[in-house]
């Protein structure tokens, strides 16, 4: 029976990145799961902290050619409500960065990770499903689809919202749904995007354009389910005109490249993010609407935290409390990000006047208050950095007064 230090179950973006990071730390890793189709038309915006981690994993040189930088992030109020928020522009140069992050097509990204995994000496790729888990205090036994058993000191569940690993660990979840469907597509446009991502806030949710290389962009259009169904039924020429109209023609003539995909919006949070010899990453642990570029960035922080927690490989076996310690470390970040995305999304849906007023006032403050803007931008690209910057600033001011 083959034994591994760590078994990662789920071979999507989150699982592949976690497996590569753990193998690079010296552990013998099994990455378990069927090969996924690389035809996913969606894209992922990774912020600066995540890009730095890709560099650490020697992935960035391969990934960068298929990406587009996000140098400016613009929010426009596209509602017809009584209280409308001002336009807000966040520029990476304000916090000393060339770009907040980069937009990466999921299909090519997964292909690059697949190739990197195959080149990693201490990583074994098992291209089948795991169908049973025996979790004990001293090890994990995993039964594969072909009947073989393998064992591991730690199992990482990266197997999605319906995670069998999470279920085997008897970790319950909270789920919620939104009256929204995301329509996802890529389009070309007449005018350059100038590395600017534009998010229109509408009554049904965000309409978010994100740059791709050249005069191309990806789009996440959050709509009411009935409106989404009607949008999906449009021919490409009519859909292109609808996108251009919604964009207020800021990118000129629009041409949708292929039939859009759609996804009902919902949220999920595990009640624990680890337990015993189990750690949950990615959508096995948390899932929420595509707002504010949080999804895979949060999943990468799961992987970063796990690698930091267990450290580099030693002669000692991994202990049986890693999952519990991982849960404690990840809880503040995951819960705060989940709550903030949920709050923002519900504020867009609310027709309650005081809620509209709060959102409008909040965006007005961000458009005018320089220090607050900087803190928010730093927190967006490097979570936790805003708090440390504020603490250092206060310490410096107190030091001046006492001098």
CATH classification of the domain holding 213:
3.30.9.10
**Cα radius of gyration rounded to whole Å, the chain:** 22
Whether 23 and 168 map to the same domain: the answer is yes
Whether 166 and 271 map to the same domain: the answer is yes
Range of the domain at 185: 68-103+177-264
Whether 191 and 340 map to the same domain: the answer is no
Report yes or no on 369 lying in a domain. no
* C-alpha to C-alpha distances, 288 to 202, 264, 282, 334, 345, nearest whole angstrom: 18, 11, 11, 11, 10
Report yes or no on 396 lying in a domain. no
* C-alpha to C-alpha distances, 349 to 72, 123, 160, nearest whole angstrom: 25, 45, 27
pLDDT given at position 292:
56
Please give the helix or strand (H or E) that residue 349 lies within, else none.
helix 322-349
Whether 181 and 317 map to the same domain: the answer is no
In angstroms, rounded to a whole number, what is the distance separating the alpha carbons of residues 364 and 44? 28
Whether 196 and 338 map to the same domain: the answer is no
Report yes or no on 392 lying in a domain. no
In angstroms, rounded to a whole number, what is the distance separating the alpha carbons of residues 242 and 260? 13
In angstroms, rounded to a whole number, what is the distance separating the alpha carbons of residues 334 and 327? 10
pLDDT given at position 39:
73
Whether 247 and 168 map to the same domain: the answer is no
Strand ranges across the sheet with 101-105: 43-47, 101-105, 68-70
Q: Please state whether the predicted TM-score (pTM) of the whole model is above 0.85.
A: yes
Report yes or no on 372 lying in a domain. no
Report yes or no on 368 lying in a domain. no
pLDDT given at position 290:
72
Whether 129 and 248 map to the same domain: the answer is no
pLDDT given at position 375:
62
Residues forming beta bridges with residue 7, ordered by sequence position: 30, 155
Whether 88 and 225 map to the same domain: the answer is yes
In angstroms, rounded to a whole number, what is the distance separating the alpha carbons of residues 197 and 72? 6
Contact 257, 185 (CB under 8 A): yes
Whether 206 and 99 map to the same domain: the answer is yes
Last residue of a domain, one of 316, 346, 376: 346
CATH code (residue 150): 3.50.50.60
Compute the 3-state secondary structure of the chain and give helix, strand, coil in percent, each to the nearest 5. 40, 30, 30
Report yes or no on 148 lying in a domain. yes
In angstroms, rounded to a whole number, what is the distance separating the alpha carbons of residues 142 and 130? 7
The one-digit pLDDT tens for each residue of the chain (403 residues) are: 799 999 999 999 999 999 999 999 999 999 999 998 777 778 999 999 999 999 999 999 999 999 999 999 888 876 665 455 567 888 899 888 899 999 999 999 999 999 999 999 999 999 999 999 999 999 999 999 999 999 999 999 999 999 999 999 999 999 999 999 999 999 999 999 999 999 888 888 889 999 999 999 999 999 999 999 999 999 999 999 999 999 999 999 999 999 999 999 999 999 999 999 999 999 999 998 776 556 899 999 999 999 999 999 988 889 999 999 999 999 999 999 888 888 777 766 544 444 444 445 455 555 555 565 566 666 666 666 554 554 554 455 455 555 4
pLDDT given at position 351:
45
Tell how strand 173-189 and strand 196-202 pair up. Answer: unpaired
pLDDT given at position 291:
65
Residues forming beta bridges with residue 201, ordered by sequence position: 77, 206
Whether 94 and 165 map to the same domain: the answer is no
| Number of domains the chain is built from | 2
Report yes or no on 375 lying in a domain. no
Report yes or no on 96 lying in a domain. yes
Q: In angstroms, how far is the first alpha carbon of the chain from the final one? A: 67
In angstroms, rounded to a whole number, what is the distance separating the alpha carbons of residues 3 and 233? 51
Whether 300 and 209 map to the same domain: the answer is no
Whether 166 and 182 map to the same domain: the answer is no
């Amino acid at each position: 029976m083959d034994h591994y230090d760590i078994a990662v179950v789920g071979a999507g973006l989150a699982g592949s990145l976690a497996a590569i990071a753990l193998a690079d730390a010296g552990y013998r890793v099994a990455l378990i799961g069927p090969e996924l189709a690389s035809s996913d038309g969606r894209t992922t915006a990774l912020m600066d902290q995540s890009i730095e981690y890709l560099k650490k994993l020697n992935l960035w040189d391969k990934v960068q050619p298929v990406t587009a930088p996000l140098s400016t992030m613009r929010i426009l109020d596209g509602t017809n409500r009584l209280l409308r928020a001002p336009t807000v522009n966040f520029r990476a140069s304000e916090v000393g960065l060339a770009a907040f992050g980069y937009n990466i097509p999921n299909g090519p990204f997964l292909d690059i990770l697949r190739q990197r995994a195959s080149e990693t000496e201490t990583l074994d790729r098992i291209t089948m499903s795991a169908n049973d888990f025996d979790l004990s205090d001293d090890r994990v036994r995993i039964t594969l689809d072909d009947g073989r058993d393998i064992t591991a000191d730690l199992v990482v569940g990266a197997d999605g919202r319906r995670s069998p690993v999470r279920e085997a660990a008897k970790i319950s979840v909270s789920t919620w749904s939104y009256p929204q469907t995301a329509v996802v597509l890529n389009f070309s446009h007449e005018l350059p995007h100038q590395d600017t991502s534009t998010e229109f806030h509408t009554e049904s949710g965000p309409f978010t354009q994100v740059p791709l290389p050249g005069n191309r962009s990806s789009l996440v259009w959050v709509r009411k389910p009935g409106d989404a169904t009607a949008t999906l039924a449009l021919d490409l020429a009519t859909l292109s005109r609808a996108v251009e109209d919604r964009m207020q023609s800021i990118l000129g003539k629009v041409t949708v490249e292929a039939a859009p995909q759609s996804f009902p919006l919902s949220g999920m949070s595990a009640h624990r993010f680890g337990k015993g010899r189990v750690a949950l990453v990615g959508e096995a642990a948390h899932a929420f609407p595509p707002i504010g570029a949080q999804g895979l960035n949060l999943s990468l922080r799961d992987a970063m935290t796990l690698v930091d927690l267990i450290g580099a490989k030693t002669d000692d076996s991994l202990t049986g409390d890693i999952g519990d310690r991982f849960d404690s470390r990840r809880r503040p970040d995951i819960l705060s990000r989940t709550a903030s995305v949920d709050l923002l999304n519900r504020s867009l849906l609310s027709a309650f006047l005081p809620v509209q007023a709060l959102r409008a006032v909040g965006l007005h403050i961000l458009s005018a208050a320089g220090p607050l803007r900087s803190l928010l931008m730093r927190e967006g690209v490097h979570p936790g950095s805003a708090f440390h910057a504020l603490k250092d600033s206060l310490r410096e001011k107190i030091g001046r007064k006492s001098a």
